[in-house]
Structures are given as structure tokens and as C-alpha cells.
Amino acid sequence: MTDREIFICRCEEVTLSEIEQAIDEGFVTVNDVKRRTRAGMGLCQGRTCGKRIAQIISKKTGIPLETLLSGTTRSPVRTEKMEIFKGEQDV
């Protein structure tokens, strides 16, 4: 395995070269790279790779890390089963 074929997103098995290609095509935020490559769309929802992808974008484009958030956060912020939504809710 070469350096460029390493997985950055472990869940969706998206490689460094796929991410760099997306950046070359003009996808230069973590969210845009995610939409282009599926990096961050797997089971863990970008919890492991988000920061790495921000670093790769910054290194390749010179965009300061300061301005690159690791992607949009939505609730639920934890992994929950759909079945918790069934039945009566205590609200």
C-alpha cells in the first residue's frame, strides 16, 4: 500500500488520493469533501476523520485551519437506535 492509498475515513474507506482529488476539483471545506467522497458519512459520522480532513485541506490549499471546522454538527450528537423514537415520550 502506498502513502496515498491510505484510508483517511476509516468507516467509508476513502483514501488520501480520493480526498486530494476532491480538493483539486475545488471542494475545500470538510462538508464539501464529505459530499464529494462520502468521507465522514459512515457509521461514526466523521468523528475520527473530520479533523484529519481539515488538516489535509489546509496543507494542500493554504486555507488556515482556524477557518476549517470539522463539519456540521447535528443532533443527536450520539449514536442512537431508531427504536427510541417509538412509543410515548416523556416531554
Partner 1 sequence: MGKYEVVIVGAGPAGLSAAIEAASSGCKVLIIDENSKPGGQLFKQIHKFFGSKEHRAGIRGINIGKQLLEEAERLQIEVWLDSEVCGIFDQHKIWVVKNKKKTILLEADRIILATGATENAVSFPGWHLPGVMGAGAAQTMINIHRVLPGTKVLMIGSGNVGIIVSYQLLQAGADVVAVVEGSPRLGGYGVHTAKIRRAGVPFYVSHTVAAAEGNGKVERAKIVQIDSSWKPVPGTEKELEVDTICIAAGLSPLTELAYLAGCEFTYTPVLGGHVPWHNSRMQTSLEHLYIAGDISGVEEASTAMEEGRMAGLQAAASLGYMNDGEKQEKEQEIQARLDDLRSGFFGEKRMNAKNIIFAAGGKQK
Partner 2 sequence: MYRIKHHPILGDLDDKKEDLVTIYVDGTPLPVRKGEMIAAALMAHGIRVFRKTIKHKNPRGIFCGIGRCTDCVMTVNGIPNVRTCVTPVEDGMRVETQEGSGKWGDSHG
CA gap 50, 9 in Å, rounded: 8
Could you tell which of partner 1, partner 2, none binds residue 44, using a CB distance below 5 to 8 A set by kind?
partner 2
Q: Give, as ranges, the residues between 12 and 51 that touch partner 2 (CB under 8 A).
A: 12-13, 42-44, 47-48
CA gap 89, 40 in Å, rounded: 31
Distance of closest approach, residue 57 Cβ to partner 1, in angstroms: 14
Distance of closest approach, residue 13 Cβ to partner 2, in angstroms: 4
State the CB neighbour count (10 A cutoff) for residue 41: 15
85 is a contact residue toward partner 1 (CB under 8 A): yes
- Cell 447535528 found at: 74
